[in-house]
Amino acid sequence: MPADLRESWCIRDVEIPTRLVLAPMAGVSVQAFRRQGRRFGAGLVCSEMVSCAGIEHRNERTLGYLRVAGDEHPLAIQIFGSEPRAMAEAAQMAEAAGADLVDINFGCPVRKVTKTGAGATLLDKPARACAIVEAVAGAVDVPVSVKMRRGLRDGARTCLEVGPQLVDAGAATLTLHPRSAEQMYTGWADHALTAELVALVDVPVIASGDITSRAKAQSILAATGAAAVMVGRGAQGNPWILREIVDGDVDDPSREEIVAELVLFIRETVRELGERRASSFLKKFYGWYLGGGRFPRPFKQELVLLDSTEAVQRLLAAAPGALPLLERLEAELPGGDEVLLDLPISVYGGG
């Protein structure tokens, strides 16, 4: 019997309405991306990783990540760092911002993170990793989750040694991306390790890596016993994959649907980040949304040179039928206040 991806599940007392989680991705998982993910069927969405050092030093760009909309819940805010005290304080700030879970990053393989002693490198320092989880779990009332890789080197099985220790330290759920830090995003995710981890711990495990279709999601859930699957890069500029995984909707979006979603994403990102920051941030999304032969390459290259407002005009001119779809999407957007911490308004970008 295939897994029902519309079935709810729980991380401690937090109910997750579907078995699909939208991954935290640096430079991608802004509020607009997370809200879109919820609309398309993600049961849990995650912020991009937030530096505990940035929070501690009250860096405005870092604090801007702690902007939470009412329709994002349930939401995990992911933090990273290497000092238990600083991580605990960052977790408290995330909870105050409205996080339903605090997620700890023990998986990032990028050098600028690992060289600080954070991210995946903590898998080779289990005592410190456990001290961080214990400090964070003791500092907040919401559940604590941990995202990790299999280990630093190819073939490592470190996750199976460290995972149960992290649960004993207070982790309420684990997410495993069973690639090594050395692999980065090459090769294949070894979900045989995910199944082994599931058998070792008594908390829900989320399977991450190579979830590219409904069939793949169901097969990985069946083979591993994981509670849910996490989708990351596959959803970049392609929220329709979330709907396909959850509901089995395999219809390709029309040009008008693509433009309507992209324009809404642009407008929401400008509201969140402001015109200047959004124009730079959005450049990669034009290729993601409009690639795969959907629009000519010169058109995509042209958009990259424009500011966000001009890009909207060009997109609607290229697909006039998108306008009524866009108006309907905007009318259906949920209302609700954002949680804004007692911080300077400049922290919150455009809004």
Name the residues annotated as catalytic. Answer: 108
SS3 11: strand
Nearest-angstrom CA–CA distance, 2 and 216: 11
Where would I find the beta strands (DSSP E) of 47-153? 50-51, 75-80, 101-106, 144-151
Instruction: Count how many Cα atoms sit within 13 Å of the Cα of residue 28 in the half-sphere of its side chain.
Output: 22
Nearest-angstrom CA–CA distance, 143 and 151: 24
> Are 302 and 34 in contact, with CB atoms under 8 Å apart?
no
Of 85, 57, 54, the closest CA to residue 77 belongs to 54
Nearest-angstrom CA–CA distance, 203 and 50: 24
> Are 94 and 63 in contact, with CB atoms under 8 Å apart?
no
